């Protein structure tokens, strides 16, 4: 049975000099006085902490972290509100993200970034005074801020964030997009029990085109099966999941695949330019990679059927 690291949030990981978070092969490079001692408190993120090796080969989002009073955002500039945890604002030059738990008047942090996302600035209140002892501060890049920044960053760098499970086998990746209840975690659990391949996620995957090759990446954002692993491989196929009375797979035309894919990828509908870029890339993706619809029974027969199909298709 897979363990869900979210049940062990009391653990933390202190970042050493030169280490940072890397999700989808993209660095979150935090700078500023507050960045001297950072700790990761969610174990699902531990595999996504990396050292300086090959550091210049990874695209990066430069994060400046400022401790002090928070900026005051103008109500008339609000463009989106989840009414749960975050809201989005926009002024003449920048986007602003306000993170605040439900019913909490003051935000935990506010982030500002340019639409081109060359970097971002995070504002948060300073921690309680710790005397002469240095205090390890929780890493400021966390849910949902990391997903929001990546959504905009990927849009301009041939990438997309999808609601999908993913697995790597034989050096090739397959992803399984689906809405909540479609079967991502169920099928992931079946694959895990069958001990075939390396599962990367049961909830969110990143796809990027790098030097003409579509690459699939695991993420730290797990679903109910608790699968969140750092890994990547060339993307060999996309399989839209749905529960069924039997196991069956059918090939989808690119137009039908795009219709199914768009509701399952992260798209900022409040920002027409970024939205257009993501849709254009999604159209290119489903035209380049084979796409299928897979109905499955929730038992081991689904795994056997899937791998048999993979052998015949490769």
Domain count across the chain: 2
Question: 261-273, pLDDT tens digit by residue?
Answer: 999 999 999 899 9
Compute the CA torsion angle 88, 261, 223, 47 (nearest 10 deg): -80
Both 145 and 220 in a single domain? Answer: no
Helices 184-194, 300-313: axis angle to 10 degrees equals 80
The phi and psi torsions of 285 (rounded to 5 degrees) equal -60, -50
Both 226 and 164 in a single domain? Answer: yes
pLDDT score for 135: 67
CATH number at residue 173: 3.40.50
Both 120 and 171 in a single domain? Answer: no
Q: Is 57 helix (H, G, I), strand (E, B) or coil?
A: helix
Both 58 and 181 in a single domain? Answer: no
Domain end marker among 123, 138, 154: 154
Both 60 and 182 in a single domain? Answer: no
Question: 25-79, pLDDT tens digit by residue?
Answer: 999 999 987 777 888 999 999 999 987 655 456 788 999 999 999 999 999 999 9
Both 96 and 233 in a single domain? Answer: no
Q: Cα–Cα distance between 153 and 72 in angstroms, integer?
A: 25
CB 210 within 8 A of CB 157: no
Q: Which secondary structure element, helix H or strand E, spans residue 288, and what is its range?
A: helix 272-288
Task: State the DSSP code for 77.
Answer: G
Both 303 and 167 in a single domain? Answer: yes
Domain end marker among 154, 172, 191: 154
Both 114 and 243 in a single domain? Answer: no
CB 129 within 8 A of CB 150: no
Both 162 and 274 in a single domain? Answer: yes
Q: Cα–Cα distance between 314 and 307 in angstroms, integer?
A: 10
pTM greater than 0.75: yes
Question: 119-144, pLDDT tens digit by residue?
Answer: 899 999 887 665 555 667 888 998 89
As to burial, measured by CB atoms within 10 angstroms (0-12 exposed, 13-18 middle, 19+ buried), residue 52 is exposed
Domain region containing 77:
5-154
pLDDT score for 1: 29
Both 108 and 192 in a single domain? Answer: no
Q: Cα–Cα distance between 108 and 123 in angstroms, integer?
A: 9
Q: Show the beta-strand stretches assigned E in the chain.
A: 13-14, 20-23, 26-31, 38-40, 49-50, 60-67, 78-81, 86-90, 95-99, 109-113, 119-124, 137-138, 159-169, 172-177, 198-201, 204-210, 213-218, 232-243, 248-251, 291-296
CB 213 within 8 A of CB 234: yes
Domain end marker among 99, 129, 154: 154
Which residue shows structure tokens 């605040």? Answer: 100
Both 103 and 71 in a single domain? Answer: yes
């Amino acid at each position: 049975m897979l363990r869900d690291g979210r049940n062990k949030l009391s653990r933390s990981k202190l970042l050493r000099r030169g280490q940072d978070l890397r999700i989808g092969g993209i660095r979150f490079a935090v700078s500023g006085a507050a960045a001297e001692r950072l700790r990761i408190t969610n174990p699902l993120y531990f595999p996504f902490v990396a050292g300086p090796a090959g550091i210049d080969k990874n695209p990066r989002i430069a994060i400046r972290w400022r401790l002090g009073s928070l900026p005051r955002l103008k109500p008339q500039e609000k463009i989106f509100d989840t009414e749960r945890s975050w809201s989005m604002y926009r002024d003449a030059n920048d986007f602003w993200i306000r993170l605040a738990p439900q019913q909490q008047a003051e935000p935990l942090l506010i982030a500002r970034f340019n639409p081109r996302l060359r970097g971002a600035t995070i504002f948060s209140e300073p921690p309680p005074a710790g005397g002469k002892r240095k205090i390890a501060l929780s890493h400021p890049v966390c849910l949902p801020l990391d997903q929001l920044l990546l959504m905009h960053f990927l849009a301009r760098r041939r990438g997309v964030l999808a609601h999908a499970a993913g697995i790597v086998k034989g050096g090739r990746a397959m992803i399984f997009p689906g809405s909540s209840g479609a079967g991502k975690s169920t099928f992931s659990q079946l694959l895990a029990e069958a001990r075939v391949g390396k599962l990367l996620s049961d909830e969110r995957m990143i796809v990027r085109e790098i030097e003409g090759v579509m690459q699939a990446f695991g993420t730290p954002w797990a679903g109910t099966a608790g699968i969140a692993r750092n890994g990547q491989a060339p993307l060999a196929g996309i399989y839209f999941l749905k529960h069924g009375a039997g196991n069956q797979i059918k090939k989808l035309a690119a137009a039908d695949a795009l219709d199914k894919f768009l509701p399952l990828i992260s798209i900022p509908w409040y920002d027409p330019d970024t939205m257009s870029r993501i849709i254009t890339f999604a159209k290119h993706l489903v035209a380049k990679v084979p796409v299928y619809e897979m109905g499955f029974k929730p038992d081991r027969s689904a795994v056997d059927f899937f791998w048999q199909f993979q052998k015949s298709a490769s």
